[in-house]
């Protein structure tokens, strides 16, 4: 984001050398063509997963600076069509939005206003789509059945594939390498949880090495050249765990504790560990604890990064966390599953509570920001 702003500023300075012109960064960076509504420069989008099989995934619009009204389903507003079944993943790349709609088996490219531009349909013969990352003009999509698909970010045409492993989950890119969680396999003997993190050359789509990690690796993020991995355990004697992997130190792995979800931003990694008691099923109780890791100082802070959180957040079912890179604000989405829309809690970078609001749909999966 900083590079784009610097590049734009240089362009404006060059233009001033020829003639006096007014430069608008928003005009240069945003593609809002076809939009039925006017949106501010600083904007956020929430992908609501919906309920599997209910065809009720939604894309919500939120204005962090309070200069526009909340739109609960901006995809429908812009395209006069439903998003589909089971919103799985959402990223922003080169001022476009990319969303995986897993139940409907497609990846959609949208402009900065949520207007659809391209769509890639995942063939029935391939595994279900899961997560994605982007770099150097390509989208990298993980799939069940052991496949990573490399797509041209503009056309969504297939540019390469990796075939290997079993049910692939999270993915992150770092210095030309893809880090992919090979999570589990299912056979006649039931589920077998794995301990593999693939390192794939993004240019060639060839496997370079396989790292042994904690059992059932799932969520993978990159921050400041480090890889952060949450593994889900085997649902028996092995629980959730967090590891940091340093690619520049021979893939050295360090345990950071126990967490069920995380997000990254500005050299910080924010974690939550949600412990749920199922002993009185269907009545359950959840306890959340929050902690953080400073990538620059390599220090874990076990104290909560939230200072005055609403009391109910301590026992809510947390579904996602995200950071707005513009100001460092932290967003935490909680779910009520199929019974109600999710709720989003917003805090400033120092952990001070700002507000909470309805997510516009069920099961908020992820949130991305554009400015």
DSSP 232-270: ---SSS---EEEEEEGGGTTEEEEEE--SEEEEETTEEE
Give the helix ranges, DSSP H, for the chain: 2-18, 25-29, 74-79
**pLDDT score of 97:** 98
Is residue 208 scored above 60 in pLDDT? yes
Q: Is residue 134 part of a domain?
A: no
How many whole angstroms from its chain centre is CA 184? Answer: 21
Decide if 88 contacts 98 (C-beta within 8 A): no
Q: Which letter does DSSP use for residue 27 in this model? A: H
For the chain, the helix, strand and coil percentages under 3-state DSSP, each to the nearest 5: 10, 50, 40
3-state secondary structure of 45: strand
Residue 27: other Cβ atoms inside 10 A = 10
Distance separating alpha carbons of residues 40 and 60, to the nearest angstrom: 15
Min mean pLDDT across 151-160, 197-206, 251-260, 270-279 is at 270-279
Q: Is residue 18 part of a domain?
A: yes
Structure tokens at 31: 């593609």
Q: Is residue 261 part of a domain?
A: no
3-state secondary structure of 310: coil
pLDDT digits (tens, 9 = 90+) for 112-151: 999 999 999 999 899 999 999 999 999 999 999 999 999 9
**pLDDT score of 30:** 84
Distance separating alpha carbons of residues 362 and 342, to the nearest angstrom: 5
Q: Is residue 279 part of a domain?
A: no
Of the candidates 85, 123, 129, which has an alpha carbon nearest to the alpha carbon of residue 107?
Answer: 129
Decide if 341 contacts 50 (C-beta within 8 A): no
Q: Is residue 139 part of a domain?
A: no
pLDDT digits (tens, 9 = 90+) for 321-350: 999 999 999 999 999 999 999 999 999 999
For residue 214, give every residue at least 6 positions away whose Cβ sits within 8 Å of its Cβ, in sequence order, or none. Answer: 195, 229, 231, 233, 238, 241, 243
Q: Is residue 12 part of a domain?
A: yes
Question: How many percent of the chain have pLDDT more than 70?
Answer: 92
CA dist 270 to 66, 133, 180, 184, 212, Å?
25, 20, 21, 26, 24
117, 123, 127, 132 alpha-carbon torsion, rounded to 10°: -20
Is residue 279 scored above 90 in pLDDT? no
For residue 107, give every residue at least 6 positions away whose Cβ sits within 8 Å of its Cβ, in sequence order, or none. Answer: 98, 99, 100, 101, 119, 120, 122, 129, 132, 139, 141, 151, 156
Residue 342: other Cβ atoms inside 10 A = 25
Q: Is residue 2 part of a domain?
A: yes
Is residue 177 scored above 80 in pLDDT? yes
Residue 255: other Cβ atoms inside 10 A = 11
Is residue 214 scored above 80 in pLDDT? yes
Distance separating alpha carbons of residues 308 and 350, to the nearest angstrom: 10
> How much is the average pLDDT of 148-173?
98
Question: DSSP assignment of 155-193, as one string?
Answer: T--EEEEEE-SSEEEEEEEETTEEEEEEEEEEETTEEEE
Decide if 301 contacts 294 (C-beta within 8 A): yes
Q: Which letter does DSSP use for residue 348 in this model? A: -
Decide if 132 contacts 122 (C-beta within 8 A): no
Distance separating alpha carbons of residues 364 and 47, to the nearest angstrom: 6
Q: What is the domain count for the chain?
A: 1
Domain of residue 20 covers 1-28
Q: Is residue 232 part of a domain?
A: no
Report the mean per-residue pLDDT for the chain.
Answer: 93
Distance separating alpha carbons of residues 133 and 227, to the nearest angstrom: 13
């Amino acid at each position: 984001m900083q590079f784009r702003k610097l590049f734009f500023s240089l362009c404006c300075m060059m233009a001033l050398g020829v003639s006096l012109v007014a430069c608008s960064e928003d005009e240069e960076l945003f593609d809002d063509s076809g939009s039925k509504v006017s949106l501010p420069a600083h904007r956020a989008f929430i992908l609501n997963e919906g309920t599997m099989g209910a065809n009720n995934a939604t894309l919500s619009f939120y204005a962090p600076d309070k200069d526009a009204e909340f739109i609960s389903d901006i995809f429908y507003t812009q395209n006069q069509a439903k998003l589909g079944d089971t919103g799985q993943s959402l990223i922003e790349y080169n001022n476009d939005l990319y969303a995986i709609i897993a139940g409907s088996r497609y990846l959609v490219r949208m402009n900065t206003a949520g207007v659809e531009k391209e769509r890639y349909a995942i063939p029935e013969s391939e595994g279900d789509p899961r997560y994605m990352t982007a770099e150097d003009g390509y989208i990298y999509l993980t799939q069940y059945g052991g496949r990573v698909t490399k797509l041209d970010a503009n056309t969504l045409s297939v540019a390469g594939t990796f075939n290997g492993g079993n049910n692939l989950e999270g993915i992150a890119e770092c210095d030309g390498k893809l880090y992919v969680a090979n999570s589990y396999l299912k056979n006649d003997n039931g589920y077998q949880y794995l301990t593999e993190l693939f390192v794939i050359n993004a240019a060639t789509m060839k496997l370079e090495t396989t790292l042994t990690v904690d059992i059932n690796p799932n969520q993978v993020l990159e921050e400041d050249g480090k890889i952060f991995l949450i593994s889900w355990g085997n649902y028996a004697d092995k629980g959730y765990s967090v590891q940091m992997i340093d690619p520049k130190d021979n893939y050295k792995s360090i345990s950071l504790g126990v967490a069920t979800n995380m997000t990254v931003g500005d050299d910080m990694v924010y974690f939550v560990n949600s412990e749920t008691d199922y002993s009185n099923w269907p009545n359950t109780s959840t306890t959340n604890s929050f902690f953080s890791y400073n990538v620059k100082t390599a220090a874990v802070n076990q104290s909560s990064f939230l200072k005055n959180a609403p009391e109910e957040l301590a026992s809510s079912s947390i579904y996602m966390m995200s950071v707005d890179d513009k100001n460092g604000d932290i967003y935490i989405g909680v779910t009520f599953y199929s019974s109600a829309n999710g709720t989003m809690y917003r805090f400033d970078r120092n952990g001070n509570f700002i507000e909470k609001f309805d997510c516009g749909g069920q099961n908020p999966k992820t949130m991305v920001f554009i400015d």
